[in-house]
Chain A
Amino acid sequence: MSASGTFAYGEEFSEFFDLGLLGGIVTKGLSLAPKDGNPTPRIVETPCGMINSIGLENIGIPIFIKEKLPFLMGYDTHTIVNFFGTTEDEYVRAAQALDFDGISALEMNVSCPNVKKGGIEFGRDPEGLHALVKKVRDVCGKPLIVKLSPMVTDISGIALAVQEARADAITCINTLPAMAIDEKTRRPVLGNITGGLSGPAIKPVALKIVWDVSRIVHIPIIASGGITSARDVVQFMLAGATAVQVGSAALRDPFCYIKIINGIRAYMEEFHIKAVSDLIGAIET
């Protein structure tokens, strides 16, 4: 599936390939009210990756449902809506507002590093997160996925709290807080000063977190973090992921999804693997 924030609302990629080939499309993070996002520059390239500080710019849930969802429903895939709020109440109301046919699941963003309120601070404390997820769970009739930040002292405690609050799945990981400075002007490169690091640079970090979390929870894990190839996908599945999200790689090559899907098939043929699910957690240590 696509990773939130790198796939907009799907339309742009539909010009490159049949969106029905994806297992799911994860939308850009949505809030109840539209959001303008951060000042530019919003992007800086780094070794084997990039830092973004879009600032959760989005069109708001009501406009998404009216203008974008019908388009996505035309494809034979699952629409997973990533959403966030700045207060517990906003998370709950956003989840309620997304109770629409045509949306397969919700992904709760409790880990965006790019906004002052909402996002990452919700995802740092196991007790607070447990309470928040539970409140959303109580009003959410759809499968609920919680996307975690890697910037916590105890990822296992966080993952367990999310599972105990009856989330259906966990996405690991969101971007890592990061920054870039222009040494000539002595100024930060990003308009927002700091942002979130993604791309192959964070893949080993994500792999370790997926492995850690997979040994502590029994709900499915969706891996995200620097995946660019079928080999990466197989590695994440061996570490315990049930599904994967591809994000930054698609900004560089929008056709990468198709190449990855074909690559997984070739890997399965080469190693005589009958079902891709046979790979989940099959790491040999």
Chain B
Amino acid sequence: MSFPSPWDEETFLITLEDERCNSFVAIEDGMVVGYCLALNLANMVHILNLAVHPDYRRLGTARQLVKEILMDAAIKDKVYAVLEVRKSNVPARSLYASMGFSHASTWSRYYTDTNEDAAIMVKDLRSAMVQDVECTVIRNVEVATQTFHIILEGELPLSAPGQFSMVQISNGMEPFLRRPLAILGQKRKRQEMLYRIRGEGTRILSGKKAGETLKVLGPLGIGFTRHDGKKIVYVAGGTGLPAVLSLAERIKSGHFIIGAKNRYDVPLLERIQATLNTEIIIMTEDGSLGNKGLATDAIGDVIRDGDDGEDTIIYACGPEGMLKEVSMLAAKTGILCEISLEERMSCGFGACTSCVVRTIKGNKRVCREGPVFNALDIIWG
């Protein structure tokens, strides 16, 4: 009852007996209400047949069946998932598209019963694709002046240091846009961020309690590049801390410079000290913690004469003035320098071009070609 021309029993039996065949059934109310058949081929899985009983549709059964096939294929190190679908079957095409399948080609008049075209859809199982995931707030507490540490849990794709997520604050129309938050870290299903209250959106976000849900689109942007074997200097100013810290906590070695207004302005210090096996230098504008001065003042002490671009790299994120100064220093000394930029965004995935930055290669989108750039590429205003 799911197909105009269903497979006959013999075809099913032959397929199921094939050792390359993988099948899943969905059971509801003690009955089989759906099934999915797939064939494991060399480096791909071919989804042959998917059906759900009409009375049990729109319950996520088909999605779950496809997900099982994909998870099984990933375990078997398959690279691609492939399927064909009738052009007219828009619900199925939407389902596959929302699961990361893209339209690869059209086979004209593939279905001989109706002379209909088949859309061939393919999913690359290697790339962690951007997904919009409903997450539960696990923790959301103020850890420094106006700065909150939030932990979200959900079926999130893996992220790399320097990437960010777009967090939807409300299911209603206020605030209308999502907020870009740098990903501080990710362990299995949990993603953590640090954010400072800047306006209405982040103020509402700070009021979210554990157990509430938020939609998280990500991971987005291009993160930091790792350069093994170099002397590493991290420079984190103000709200730039999470981006730089995400990398430092992964690499663990190097010199970590934190710039802040005062001692109430340094979040998660105990944790930073515990996780980083490295020299931590704190600079505060009023001298209430660490040394008095700006983050940039400390760089000179870390980069000594003789250090050059061959064996040193600076990773920095923070206020524009700080990044500009760090970039100048990098240009002067020839030291490699990657900076993560912050800019007002609306989409976060490159569509609106509102977050552009001027570079020597023309306008670049902070959300798409960044947020991490080679410092020497930026044309400062």
Partner-B contacts on A (CB < 8 A): 5-8, 12-21, 28, 36-37, 40-50, 52, 54, 57, 74-76, 199-200, 228, 248, 250-255, 258, 261-262, 265
B168 touches A252 (CB 8 A): yes
- What residue in chain B is nearest A20 (Cβ atoms)? B103
B16 within 8 A of A: no
Q: For A19, what are the chain B residues with a Cβ–Cβ distance below 8 Å?
A: 103
Q: Are B103 and A8 in contact (CB under 8 A)?
A: no
CA distance A75 to B106 in the complex (A): 9
- Segment at the interface with A among B225-233, B276-284, B344-352: B344-352
Once A12-B350, A18-B101 are accepted as A-B contacts, the answer to whether A200 and B176 lie under 8 Å apart by CB is yes
Complex: how many Å from CA A265 to CA B92? 13
Separation in Å of the B320 CB from the closest CB of chain A?
11
> CA A6 – CA B21 in complex, angstroms?
43
A76, B96: Cα distance in complex, Å: 16
What is the CA–CA distance of A281 and B14 in the complex, to the nearest angstrom? Answer: 54
Q: B residues near A, CB below 8 A?
A: 87, 90-91, 93-94, 96-98, 101-103, 106, 119, 121, 129-130, 132, 168, 173-178, 201, 215, 217, 343-347, 349-357, 362-363, 368
* B371–chain A nearest beta-carbon distance, Å: 14
How many angstroms between the C-alpha atoms of A50 and B174 in the bound complex? 11
A129 to B103, CA, bound (A): 40
Residue of B nearest to A251 (CB): B347
Not counting A18-B94, A54-B353, A254-B351, a sample of 18 additional A-B residue pairs whose C-beta atoms are within 8 angstroms of each other reads A6-B351, A7-B351, A15-B129, A16-B130, A17-B94, A20-B103, A21-B90, A21-B93, A42-B354, A52-B354, A54-B352, A76-B103, A199-B176, A200-B176, A248-B176, A253-B132, A254-B217, A262-B91
CB distance from A82 to the nearest CB of B (A): 14
A-B contact pairs, 13 of them (CB 8 A): A8-B353, A13-B351, A15-B349, A37-B363, A48-B174, A52-B352, A76-B119, A248-B176, A251-B346, A252-B176, A253-B132, A258-B97, A265-B90
B356: A residues at CB distance < 8 A: 37, 40, 42, 57
In the complex, the answer to whether A18 meets B177 with C-beta atoms within 8 Å is no
Q: How near does chain A come to B372, taking the closest CB pair, in angstroms?
A: 18
Contact B102 A18 (CB under 8 A): yes
Contacts of A57 in B (CB 8 A): 353, 356, 363
A43 touches B346 (CB 8 A): yes
Task: Judge whether B94 and A21 touch: CB under 8 Å.
Answer: yes
A34 to B95, CA, bound (A): 37
Instruction: Specify which chain A residues have a CB less than 8 angstroms from the CB of B121 in the assembled complex.
Output: 18
Which residue in A37, A76, A248 is a CB contact (below 8 Å) of B353?
A37
Whether the Cβ atoms of A48 and B94 lie closer than 8 Å is no
Q: Which of chain B's residues have a CB closer than 8 A to the CB of A42?
A: 344, 353-356
B357 surroundings in chain A (CB, below 8 A): 40
Known: A18-B103, A21-B97. A12 touches B349 (CB 8 A): yes
Bound state CA distance, A219 and B175, in angstroms?
A: 37
Q: A18-B102, A43-B346 are in contact. Are A262 and B119 (CB under 8 A)?
A: no
A-B pairs with lowest CB-CB distance, top 9: A43-B354, A17-B97, A18-B97, A251-B347, A42-B354, A12-B350, A41-B344, A18-B103, A48-B173
For residue A248, which residues in chain B have a CB less than 8 angstroms away from its CB? 176
Residues of B within 8 A of A40 (CB): 343-344, 354-357
Q: In the assembly, what is the distance between CA of A14 and CA of B130, in Å?
A: 11
Cα distance, A41 to B101, chains bound together (Å):
35
| B106 cross-chain contacts in A, Cβ below 8 A | 76
Chain A neighbourhood of B346, CB < 8 A:
43, 45, 50, 52, 251-252
Give min CB distance, A226 to chain B, whole Å. 9
CB distance from A268 to the nearest CB of B (A): 12
Say yes or no: A20-B93 contact (C-beta < 8 A), given A8-B350, A37-B353, A50-B176.
yes
CB distance from A5 to the nearest CB of B (A): 7
**Residues of chain B contacted by A200 (CB below 8 angstroms):** 173, 176
CB distance from A113 to the nearest CB of B (A): 15
A18-B121, A57-B356, A261-B90 known; A75 and B350 CB under 8 Å?
Answer: no
Whether B98 lies near A258 (C-beta < 8 A) is yes
B104 CB to closest chain A CB, in angstroms?
9
Contact B129 A17 (CB under 8 A): no
Looking at the assembled complex, report how far the CB atom of B156 sits from the nearest CB atom of chain A, in whole angstroms.
16
Q: Tell me the smallest distance from the CB of B59 to a CB of chain A, in Å.
A: 14
CA distance A104 to B148 in the complex (A): 49
How many whole Å from B354's CB to the nearest CB in chain A?
Answer: 4
Complex Cα distance A126/B256, Å? 64
Q: Which residues of A contact B345 (CB under 8 A)?
A: 43
Closest CB-CB distance, B198 to chain A, in whole Å?
A: 11
Question: Which A residues are in CB contact (< 8 Å) with B215?
Answer: 253
Q: Verify B352–A251 contact, CB threshold 8 A.
A: yes
Residues of A within 8 A of B201 (CB): 45
**Complex Cα spacing A103 to B368, Å:** 26
Could you tell me the distance between the alpha carbons of A75 and B93 in the complex, rounded to whole angstroms? Answer: 13
Task: Give bound CA distance, A8 to B356, whole Å.
Answer: 13
A258 neighbours in B (Cβ, 8 Å): 94, 97-98
Check A48/B176 contact, CB under 8 A, given A43-B345, A254-B217: yes
Chain A residues in 8 Å Cβ range of B363: 36-37, 57
- CB B124 to nearest CB in A, in angstroms, measures 11
**B167 to nearest A CB, angstroms?**
11
